[in-house]
Structure 1
Amino acid sequence: MRFSAILFDLDGTLLNTIPDLAGAANAMRHDLGMAPVAQDILATYVGKGAEQLVIRALQHDGATADDALVARGLACYTQHYRRLSGTQSHPYPGVLEGLNLFRAAGCQMAVVTNKSTEFTGPLLRHHGLVDFFDVVVCGDTCTQKKPDPMPVLYACKQLDVPPDQALFIGDSINDALAAQAAGIPMLALPYGYNEGRPVQSLPADAIVGSLIEAAQWAGCATRPTEPA
């Protein structure tokens, strides 16, 4: 088998968390006297962690987000996200099937996300995914977040797998750049967020429609036979 370990992003790759993230961002804006922002727009602000989501949401109307406002907004957002996280999020189609294919092939698996530890573990448990993963690297595990390669390389070290034996599966430029800098092949999924940019713009090795297709690409599952 080509890969010993498979690394996954979380938001936009395993789970559709936009309803919860957008709900918390708009609740924050409401508390600060701001009008709500459409969910599809807030989705383009996701990818670099909660603080960047808050900053972008605060600046949506052209407002200046100074340090005091960002601190107030982040505290407010976090309070609302604690209430909303997991309430409307759900795994994407093919996630459970794909994870089972990778596990059946004997791959070690890890999550590498910019989401904080506080929310990552509960989300994985809530959706019945936590037992698939040998390692979970969160946005506060290392001193740097994606697109820095540090969290990706840290996951490989924890799995005791050389980077050239790992595969990263994600949906955004942060995933692609982190994998590229770590020297790890990367598959991109088209249904994620990617800050509003087309997935075709990513420096990925391939674009796959689901984790099932990702397992097939990695040689961890047979492709269905084409009809005659």
Structure 2
Amino acid sequence: MHIPDLAPLSLLRFEAAIVDLDGTMVDTLGDFVVALNRMLAELALPPITAEAIGQMIGKGSEHLIRSVLAHVRCGETPDAALFDAAWARYQHHYLAINGQHASIYAGVAEGLAALRARGLRLACLTNKPTAFARPLLAIKGLDVHFEHLFGGEAFERKKPDPLPLLKTCEALGSAPARTLMIGDSSNDAQAARAAGCPVVLVSYGYNHGQPVSEVDADGYVDSLADLARMLGPG
């Protein structure tokens, strides 16, 4: 993927960065495939492919469960009883295998360390439930880089609403215009634009199955290490 000139961003005196989790730091598709298909099997429903799941990731676990149930039931919207049963079994299975079928993307640890060395304060902001996100970051050794972690239930609304970014900026003590959003999807970009944060997207994430280059962002990078290098010294 072509990496644009990020020189304009390098001129900004960033105070902090907000980093998405799934599809940005960790490839969690394998975890989703295992947990969701174990859930479906218990509900006597047909399995779902990794390709289909990859297009549903990013809008929170509740949305994911509803989308998966509708997909395997030929578009039929699940009722409350089915959703509640699925949600309970999904949580059980996801927590049991959290991180076992997931891998850190190349350059993530290096990039986060470089951003911190540049003087940026870091927060992880994800639509994933905190109960899933916190142990995942710890298992992968990424928790040491972040001052704050906010999951999908931390605020009244999730990305792409700007509220989570604005609240995270408050927690970091940084102005939105001096806080870089780093993500992998239109959810991250839309939230950042509405919050007034510059935004850079990675080229390798999920983005609901759509090309990330079609999303309005300030830049696209092939790794967080590349981003740190292109921003230059603090």
> What does residue 206 of structure 1 align with?
219
Alpha-carbon contact 1:109-1:134 (below 8 Å) kept: yes
Aligned to 2:164: 151
Of 134, 146, 152 in structure 2, the residue corresponding to residue 121 of structure 1 is 134
Taking the TM superposition and a 5 Å limit, the aligned residue runs for 1:17-36 are 17-36=28-47
Instruction: Write the letter of the residue equivalent to 2:32.
Output: L
* Inter-partner Cα distance in structure 1 for 2:77 and 2:154: 30
Partner of 1:47: 58
Question: C-alpha distance in 1, partners of 2:154/2:119?
Answer: 26
Determine helix, strand or coil for the equivalent of 1:187: strand
2:71 is matched with 60
Q: Provide structure 1 residue ranges, at least 5 long, that are not aligned to the other structure.
A: 222-228
State the SS of the aligned residue for 2:40: helix
CA distance in 1, matches of 2:204, 2:80: 33
- The number of residues matched between the two structures is 221
Contact 1:8 1:168 in 2 (8 A): yes
- Show the counterpart of 1:168: 181
CA deviations on 1:18-45 (whole Å, 9 max, x unpaired) are 1001211111111111221111211111
| Structure 1 segment 72-91 matched on structure 2, within 5 A | 72-91=85-104
Offset at residue 168 of structure 1 (A): 0.4
How far apart are the structure 2 equivalents of 1:167 and 1:220? 15
- Contact map agreement 2:111 2:224 (CA 8 A) in 1: yes
Does the 8 A contact of 1:44 with 1:195 survive in 2?
yes
Is the 2:130–2:152 Cα contact (8 Å) retained in structure 1? Answer: yes
> 2:166, 2:117 → 1: CA distance?
24
Aligned partner of 2:109 among 96, 99, 102? 96
- Shift of residue 120, structure 1, vs aligned partner: 1.2
CA contact (8 A) 1:5 1:161 kept: yes
Distance in 2 between the 1:34 and 1:122 partners? 29
Pair 1:217-2:230 in alignment: yes
Q: What amino acid does structure 1 have at the position aligned with 2:119?
A: G
Q: 1:183 maps to which residue?
A: 196
Runs of 4+ off more than 4 Å: none
The 2-side partners of 1:112 and 1:69 are apart by 29
Counterpart contact for 1:3–1:218, Cα < 8 Å: no
Q: How many Å apart are 1:162 and its aligned residue?
A: 0.6
Alignment check: 8 A CA contact 1:101 1:220 kept: no
Task: Determine if contact 1:12/1:171 at 8 Å carries over to the other structure.
Answer: yes
Contact 2:66–2:83 (CA under 8 A) maintained in structure 1 = yes
- TM-score, normalised to structure 2's length? 0.91
Residues of 1 paired with 2:25 and 2:81: CA distance? 34
- TM-score between the two structures when normalised by the length of structure 1: 0.93
Separation (CA, whole Å) in 2 of partners of 1:218 and 1:69 = 48
| 2:9 alignment partner in structure 1 | none
> Are positions 1:70 and 2:79 aligned together?
no
Alpha carbons of structure 1 residues 167 and 142: separation in structure 2 relative to 1, 3 Å: same
Distance across 2 between alignment mates of 1:34 and 1:64 = 14
Q: CA RMSD in A?
A: 1.3
